[in-house]
A and B are shown apart, each in its own frame.
Chain A
């Protein structure tokens, strides 16, 4: 049995790698960063909400740092906004354009809580331009921004109502219009879904590349250390070269998976810990805030729409995706680690390892860009199809393509099968060459030398 004893190599390599400072420090640091980022991703929007609500929004009732608002309506439409005074809890005074011209220079050195908003029509568009007191350090910019957008919203609502739009239709009238563009015969995809379908695969490709590629390089390093330290000759009295390399590859694969899982769990924990104080604990408020910015109308439907679109972008999220992810990760890792192992065994000095790894790096980077660029364009084209089935790129693209419904289970299985066949062929090559070159000392072996050895 050429693979007998691989489990001992696996156990030793796994434990030793996990005990390295670089792994411990790397995992802890990245996990903490991810946990903090997840915590903040949940928590920070609530601060924004608090600022909007608690800082004196029409619903909040708290004191704003702006006390006097001067509004100059220079549009020609007779719209009075003094009733904002009650909603905002500050003094609101409508002034003429001439008065605004006089007021404006005085704001430069004003220490009062003053703000001037001028509503104009420019290039066929309403514009609200506001200036606040320059010498009052207590005025918060957030308050001014909120007042500015409130003035704009209320002005637009009153403008529409002046043309007879009923109050009940204002939400629809003021909200943005969602658009989709679909090629006949294909699934309809909204802009939000398009965005999700572009960003998620790009991020996913990068993460998969980092984990698969960086850890496969460790296999090369480990093989090169055994050769350069001359320990390999002793090991070969107890174990066959194939078992040695298989044990190493699987150990690094598991270390990589373990680090990935630890980081994901840390991120999840960070998000969960923030739940009691995070955005989901204040969903109602979030709905209002996000709805305002998304649809301009503060509607719950607006937020629900966004959430539905994001969730809807992941068409195939079920148990199968986790199996596919793990299988593709392992097969992809086997491919790159097998190549890296060969590169490592072709050298007998550590300083030769970097140049020996260059061809593997080129293949890896080529595979990554093949997977990455179609995600940037977001379009289904020849390149994206090649990337999906080519073994050097499919590990970086397949899981998200399936998750987002770009391919079905049949295509996923074909891609996995192609990858598996490539792995088997590579392992056969590795088995043939590795036994011959593992004891080689002297100059680094070239790819051509290895191919000769395999014949």
Chain B
């Protein structure tokens, strides 16, 4: 089974919202769907879910055109909510009925999810009586209610405290381990690095980076160097062609062109009798790749 998106495009008037988006989730796991604000993530998700008409492209699930009404899909939207005045449990039964579940089938699923998310006590409450975090838990429960095969999580951790963020993460891991195809969007790059192997990065509606995160990093090589020593070494770094990015109490942060440049720099420091306290040469982080690809611009939807 595979979830496959090919050549998805959408224009609003003259403005290109998404251009030729293609990616595939070939096996169960968590796929990162990244982008700046206004890059076209929500538009793409809406097209994938059939809420928004696409100008071109196809969405396939298991080799057939994907129909959100026929498949078991869980969706936690970025712009999410609940009926403020209605009882939480009744809302859950309503959502279950829309997914084709009977009350009998829905009850154990609700019991499990509410217990897992620690919101049992709010069953009879109105949504407006719940904190934002607890509302978010109910929304996640609604997304997972039908035991979906495909789960789309748009900023699932935004606004959560560390305890609840960990709870959400554990549930996401659990779903991944249960063989679900999960597509996750987040601006928390550490979380993405923690969960995802494959990703696509959108900027102004266009794919600017795509593939396996480890491969991308490997291709870029180790270019980030943090150095700390007992004597000044700035002159040597300059001689070796290193670019100083930032001085911090933990050391100086350089960009190196090749790993050989870093090796030559280390040798020269030792030859000059400098005691090296820290010499950390590493691959770029996802955060750095993101900022580099998207140019640090911030657009609002």
Chain A residues within 8 Å of B, Cβ to Cβ: 4-5, 8-9, 11-12, 15-16, 20, 225-226, 229-231, 233-240, 439, 441
Q: Please give, as numbers and ranges, the residues of chain B lying within 8 Å of A236 by CB-CB distance.
A: 49, 51
A167 nearest CB across to chain B (Å): 74
| B80–A234 CB distance below 8 A | yes
Question: In the bound complex, what is the Cα–Cα distance between A11 and B94 (angstroms)?
Answer: 9
Contact (A225, B80) CB under 8 Å given A8-B97, A238-B69: no
B148 nearest CB across to chain A (Å): 9
Among B83-91, B167-175, B186-194, the stretch in contact with A: B83-91
Pairs A-B, 9 closest by C-beta atoms = A230-B81, A229-B81, A238-B98, A233-B77, A230-B79, A8-B97, A12-B94, A237-B75, A231-B81
A9 — nearest CB in chain B belongs to which residue? B98
Contact (A239, B83) CB under 8 Å given A234-B75, A439-B46, A439-B52: no
Q: Please give, as numbers and ranges, the residues of chain A lying within 8 Å of B97 by CB-CB distance.
A: 8, 11-12
Question: In the bound complex, what is the Cα–Cα distance between A240 and B98 (angstroms)?
Answer: 10
Question: In the bound complex, what is the Cα–Cα distance between A231 and B95 (angstroms)?
Answer: 11
Partner of A230, one of B69, B80, B99: B80
Docked complex: B178-228 residues within 8 A CB-CB of A: none
28 A-B residue pairs with Cβ-Cβ distance under 8 Å, sorted by A, are: A4-B69, A5-B98, A11-B97, A12-B97, A16-B83, A225-B83, A229-B81, A229-B82, A229-B83, A230-B81, A231-B80, A233-B75, A233-B77, A233-B79, A234-B75, A234-B76, A234-B77, A234-B81, A234-B139, A235-B95, A236-B49, A236-B51, A237-B49, A237-B73, A239-B69, A240-B69, A439-B46, A441-B79
Interface string of B54-97 (1 = CB under 8 A from A): 00000000000000110001011101111111100010001101
Chain B residues within 8 Å of A, Cβ to Cβ: 46, 49, 51-52, 68-69, 73, 75-77, 79-86, 90, 94-95, 97-99, 139, 142-143
**Chain A CB within 10 A, most for which of B76, B84, B98, B99:** B98
Partner of B51, one of A12, A225, A439: A439
Partner of A233, one of B68, B80, B84, B98: B80
A231 nearest CB across to chain B (Å): 5
| A230–B77 CB distance below 8 A | yes
B99 — nearest CB in chain A belongs to which residue? A238
| B86–A16 CB distance below 8 A | yes
Contact (A225, B98) CB under 8 Å given A237-B49, A240-B69: no
Q: By DSSP majority rule, is chain A's interface helix, strand, loop, or mixed? A: loop
Q: Please give, as numbers and ranges, the residues of chain A lying within 8 Å of B76 by CB-CB distance.
A: 234
**Chain B CB within 10 A, most for which of A5, A8, A234, A237:** A237
| B51–A233 CB distance below 8 A | yes
Question: In the bound complex, what is the Cα–Cα distance between A97 and B135 (angstroms)?
Answer: 91
Number of A-B residue pairs having CB atoms within 8 Å of each other in the complex: 65
New contact pairs (4) apart from A237-B51, A439-B46, CB-CB < 8 Å: A233-B77, A237-B49, A240-B69, A439-B52
**Chain B CB within 10 A, most for which of A225, A229, A235:** A229
Q: Please give, as numbers and ranges, the residues of chain B lying within 8 Å of A238 by CB-CB distance.
A: 69, 95, 98-99
A275 nearest CB across to chain B (Å): 42
Contact (A8, B94) CB under 8 Å given A236-B49, A237-B75, A238-B99: yes
| A229–B84 CB distance below 8 A | yes
B43 — nearest CB in chain A belongs to which residue? A439
Q: Please give, as numbers and ranges, the residues of chain B lying within 8 Å of A235 by CB-CB distance.
A: 95, 98
Q: Please give, as numbers and ranges, the residues of chain B lying within 8 Å of A226 by CB-CB distance.
A: 83
Question: In the bound complex, what is the Cα–Cα distance between A225 and B110 (angstroms)?
Answer: 24
Partner of A231, one of B49, B68, B82, B143: B82
A452 nearest CB across to chain B (Å): 11
Q: Please give, as numbers and ranges, the residues of chain A lying within 8 Å of B143 by CB-CB distance.
A: 234
Question: In the bound complex, what is the Cα–Cα distance between A231 and B69 (angstroms)?
Answer: 17
| A231–B98 CB distance below 8 A | no
B135 — nearest CB in chain A belongs to which residue? A229
Contact (A231, B83) CB under 8 Å given A12-B97, A16-B90: yes
Question: In the bound complex, what is the Cα–Cα distance between A236 and B95 (angstroms)?
Answer: 11
A20 — nearest CB in chain B belongs to which residue? B85
B68 nearest CB across to chain A (Å): 5
A232 — nearest CB in chain B belongs to which residue? B81
B105 nearest CB across to chain A (Å): 14
Question: In the bound complex, what is the Cα–Cα distance between A114 and B301 (angstroms)?
Answer: 90
Question: In the bound complex, what is the Cα–Cα distance between A382 and B164 (angstroms)?
Answer: 69
Question: In the bound complex, what is the Cα–Cα distance between A195 and B83 (angstroms)?
Answer: 49
Contact (A234, B95) CB under 8 Å given A439-B46, A441-B79: yes
A436 — nearest CB in chain B belongs to which residue? B53
A437 nearest CB across to chain B (Å): 12
B135 nearest CB across to chain A (Å): 10
B235 nearest CB across to chain A (Å): 56
A241 — nearest CB in chain B belongs to which residue? B51
Question: In the bound complex, what is the Cα–Cα distance between A5 and B69 (angstroms)?
Answer: 10
Question: In the bound complex, what is the Cα–Cα distance between A204 and B113 (angstroms)?
Answer: 52
| A237–B81 CB distance below 8 A | no
B128 — nearest CB in chain A belongs to which residue? A229
Q: Please give, as numbers and ranges, the residues of chain B lying within 8 Å of A230 by CB-CB distance.
A: 77, 79-81
Q: Please give, as numbers and ranges, the residues of chain A lying within 8 Å of B49 by CB-CB distance.
A: 236-237
Question: In the bound complex, what is the Cα–Cα distance between A234 and B86 (angstroms)?
Answer: 16
Question: In the bound complex, what is the Cα–Cα distance between A237 and B67 (angstroms)?
Answer: 10
A173 nearest CB across to chain B (Å): 70
Q: Please give, as numbers and ranges, the residues of chain B lying within 8 Å of A8 by CB-CB distance.
A: 94, 97-98
B152 — nearest CB in chain A belongs to which residue? A237
Question: In the bound complex, what is the Cα–Cα distance between A234 and B69 (angstroms)?
Answer: 12
Q: Please give, as numbers and ranges, the residues of chain B lying within 8 Å of A20 by CB-CB distance.
A: 85
B45 — nearest CB in chain A belongs to which residue? A233
A441 — nearest CB in chain B belongs to which residue? B79
A239 — nearest CB in chain B belongs to which residue? B98
A7 — nearest CB in chain B belongs to which residue? B97
Question: In the bound complex, what is the Cα–Cα distance between A433 and B62 (angstroms)?
Answer: 32
A238 — nearest CB in chain B belongs to which residue? B98
Question: In the bound complex, what is the Cα–Cα distance between A234 and B153 (angstroms)?
Answer: 11
Question: In the bound complex, what is the Cα–Cα distance between A8 and B96 (angstroms)?
Answer: 10
Question: In the bound complex, what is the Cα–Cα distance between A372 and B83 (angstroms)?
Answer: 38
Question: In the bound complex, what is the Cα–Cα distance between A237 and B98 (angstroms)?
Answer: 9
Question: In the bound complex, what is the Cα–Cα distance between A390 and B221 (angstroms)?
Answer: 75
A2 nearest CB across to chain B (Å): 10
Question: In the bound complex, what is the Cα–Cα distance between A230 and B84 (angstroms)?
Answer: 11
B301 — nearest CB in chain A belongs to which residue? A441
A308 nearest CB across to chain B (Å): 53
Question: In the bound complex, what is the Cα–Cα distance between A11 and B103 (angstroms)?
Answer: 13
Q: Please give, as numbers and ranges, the residues of chain A lying within 8 Å of B79 by CB-CB distance.
A: 230, 233, 441
Q: Please give, as numbers and ranges, the residues of chain B lying within 8 Å of A4 by CB-CB distance.
A: 69
